[in-house]
C-alpha cells in the first residue's frame, strides 16, 4: 500500500520570501537575530529596513535593538530620501500598528501632513510596492495565507 503523502503536507511551510537583493536577504538574516524576538512584528520591521541601502546603513538610527523602540526622529535626518522615508514609515506602521512619527509635533497641521504619509496610496505608489507586500505577508501570515476549508471541497 502506498504511503499517504497528504498526511504531513499541511505541516510543511513552503512559503518563500522575495528579497530585493542579496544584500537585503543577508541583512534580514543578520538583523533579525539581533532583535529581542523573532515574531511577525520584528520580521516585518527588519525585512522593510533591509529593502534600501540607506536604511540598511542607518538601521541603528531607525531602531534601537536593545530597547525595541523605533526612533521616529530619523525621519527628519539629512540622509533620508523620499524612498527611504517610505521604507521607514512602512516598517514603523507594521511594527507599531500605527503612525508613531505623527506625535513628534504638537502642531495639528503638521500631524495631519505626517499622517497622510502613512496612507496606502502614499506608501505603495513607488517601486518598493512589491517588497512592501512581502512585508505585509510577513506581518499578517494568518490572513495572507489563510485557507478557507469550504474552498478545499468546492
Q: Determine phi and psi for 11, rounding to 5 degrees.
A: -85, -15
Per-residue confidence (pLDDT) for residue 18, from 0 to 100: 96
pLDDT digits (tens, 9 = 90+) for 75-110: 999 999 999 999 999 999 999 999 999 999 999 999
Assess whether pLDDT exceeds 80 at residue 150. no
CB burial of residue 52 (10 Å; 0-12, 13-18, 19+): buried
Cell 474552498 found at:
151
> How high is the pLDDT of residue 32?
98
Task: Provide the grid cell at 46.
Answer: 527588519
CA 6 to CA 54: how far, in whole Å?
45
Residue 152: is its pLDDT beyond 70?
no
**Chain segment 53-68, per-residue pLDDT in tens:** 999 999 999 999 999 9
**Mean pLDDT, rounded, of the chain:** 90
d(CA 134, CA 19): 9
pTM, to two decimals: 0.86
Amino acid at each position: 500500500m502506498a504511503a499517504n503523502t497528504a498526511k504531513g503536507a499541511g505541516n510543511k511551510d513552503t512559503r518563500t520570501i522575495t528579497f530585493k537583493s542579496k544584500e537585503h536577504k543577508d541583512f534580514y538574516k543578520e538583523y533579525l537575530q539581533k532583535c529581542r524576538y523573532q515574531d511577525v512584528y520584528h520580521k516585518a520591521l527588519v525585512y522593510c529596513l533591509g529593502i534600501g541601502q540607506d536604511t540598511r546603513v542607518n538601521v541603528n538610527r531607525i531602531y534601537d535593538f536593545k530597547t525595541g523602540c523605533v526612533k521616529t526622529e530619523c525621519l527628519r535626518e539629512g540622509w533620508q530620501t523620499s524612498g527611504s522615508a517610505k521604507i521607514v514609515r512602512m516598517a514603523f506602521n507594521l511594527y507599531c500598528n500605527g503612525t508613531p512619527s505623527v506625535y513628534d509635533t504638537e502642531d495639528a497641521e503638521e500631524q495631519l501632513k505626517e499622517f497622510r504619509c502613512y496612507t496606502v496610496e502614499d506608501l505603495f505608489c513607488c517601486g518598493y510596492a512589491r517588497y512592501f507586500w512581502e512585508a505585509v505577508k510577513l506581518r499578517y501570515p494568518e490572513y495572507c495565507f489563510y485557507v478557507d476549508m469550504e474552498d478545499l471541497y468546492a
